[in-house]
Amino acid sequence: MGARIPCLHRDGAKAFQSSIVPANSRILRISLTAKMGWTATRVEAVKESGGRRIAIGHVGADLFVRTAYQPQNWPHRISVFTPEGDPKDIAEEDFILQDVAGPLCFSGDMLAVARPLPKIDEGDIVVVHDTGAYTYSMYSRYNSRLAPAAYGYLDDSEEKIDFHTVKAAETIDQVLQFWESPSTSR
């Protein structure tokens, strides 16, 4: 069952439709809405091109299909953290224009273009917000990259956060099965 629940990706951005499954559904008893998810990636490389810094991580157009192909309609909020997980909290006037790119082999693999952000360095962690709902369900098989795991967590106290696997990472055998190729392990 679908529902039209508007959800802004960032201030002023166009709203999108979120899918909802009724609680009494026998098919699925869990629903993800956009604001429930976030995606984190470690920055593997930073380069300069076109007068801007480009931070390159492990998530891109294969996970953020709409953002890559229609960035004007599907932008995501992005936060930057140190390698230790501390927020890079600096005044917005000190942000610099940067691109955040994914690992795929085409120029459109961009999560953000000319976005004002704290300076991103190798090893930093980039968090993409509001990635529930359509993000994981639209995963692309481009280059046969393995779909990532999905985790849920409970924050029961200020001292401990319990993570749980909601969906395991895809295996090579699962990708080969998708393409109806014989498994390499047989």
Three-state SS at 112: strand
CA 52 – CA 108 distance, rounded (Å) = 16
**What is the rounded CA–CA span in Å between residue 119 and residue 68?**
22
Tell me which of 105, 155, 164, 184 is the catalytic residue: 105
Burial (CB count within 10 angstroms: exposed 0-12, middle 13-18, buried 19+), residue 7: middle
Neighbours of 51 (CB within 10 A): 7
The Cα 105–Cα 133 span in angstroms is 26
Residue 7 designated active-site: no
User: Which residues are catalytic, by number?
Assistant: 105
